[in-house]
Chain A
């Protein structure tokens, strides 16, 4: 069913992710100092950019999976299942990006929400991948679903670089990138920078664990479907009179 090595890797990932997140929370909430301007609010910075990064990463994996399925030479249903699994985890992290951003925005900016380019394109990202997941629920055979959603996944990914560059391309209320900026010169220092980095690493581990788990569920469901199809074909062979109805 599931190879022992896969299970082992997943468990180790899970434990490491848990420890890293715990460390991030301790450092973020209690060890790091308050910010000169923001005070305690700066503590939300240790989670908000990391969860946004994981959303980008997840959608990147979805795109790679989509390409590998759409390309005939590497076509395998596993790539489609990987793409779908990653998209679902990505949607969770995009929701968290919007939630934590909003919670930070109210006290820091004075508003929960505003229609600036960064916020609008992020909301769009969330809805685009919800659409991807909705499209996958339309009943059809595995191949058509994979092609359809593969194309949808690649179209949706166009928004990821737009989200990232929105603070550069347009005037926004949202600040520009602290770490991943054009000159790659982080505008954050000392233990604050270390905690932010730890945040990036720990949520990436959480993502990896979730992806492995979700992918395993997807493969099991796919196998159940395959077995059932075989069973239906077999039944049809024994009961030819039921065949015409089943074929629909």
Chain B
């Protein structure tokens, strides 16, 4: 797909987000106050992190359904670590969270790469395994606010230049991965491995190993989000972020990441996450019946996918026209 078409998709999504904000503002003007928009962005930060990781995995024609379980397991591990060693500095905890999440991701990656098991099966399995491990570790107990150290809870809330640290982390990840995806050989390999695996193999790219790194990155970002999540809501338990993996996949799909691999951008994934984040933050204040809320979230996803599909069709017609003109 040409760079121009990608740009237009992101512009389209930005337009949709602005339109959405306009509709919400007409019912609840305070929603678009800068302070509230900062809150919404901050609330969406974990979703952005996970959507970036998921996007990279989807690029390589895989899917990672274990992200929410990875988040919950890493969150529980760092929470238990904090309870056992309250003096451990937060940067160390974050480094451990990223490492631990990455190891869980590598486990997925090895199964996909070396055993060639379909990714959906692998990650469905590890999703359950991770939740099971949380249960074994915690013996079903919750870790609550008063057990966690103040530094552990304060870090993502600390405000720097008007934005909480959690938002800065999400923005940092976006910048980092825009560079990685566009300026490194590994980043280009993700596109190549998913776009045309055979051609990629001829070009000297090991498709299996590329998928392994995609799962590792997804796992590392899930681990990071795990610490942020537990710290923000000041609670860790087995069911943490239940069902969140589907929201993450939805964010990618809305963000224009092709579910068949090979196409998608970091910016698109971020915008897709923001779109869903705005909807879930707006629904409580526009007083819509809870019975309608799920239907509205679902409709938004289908409309976004339909727009994607129609954008793809248009591209097909243009090629045809050029072909006709050429003959």
Decide whether A and B assemble into one complex. Answer: no
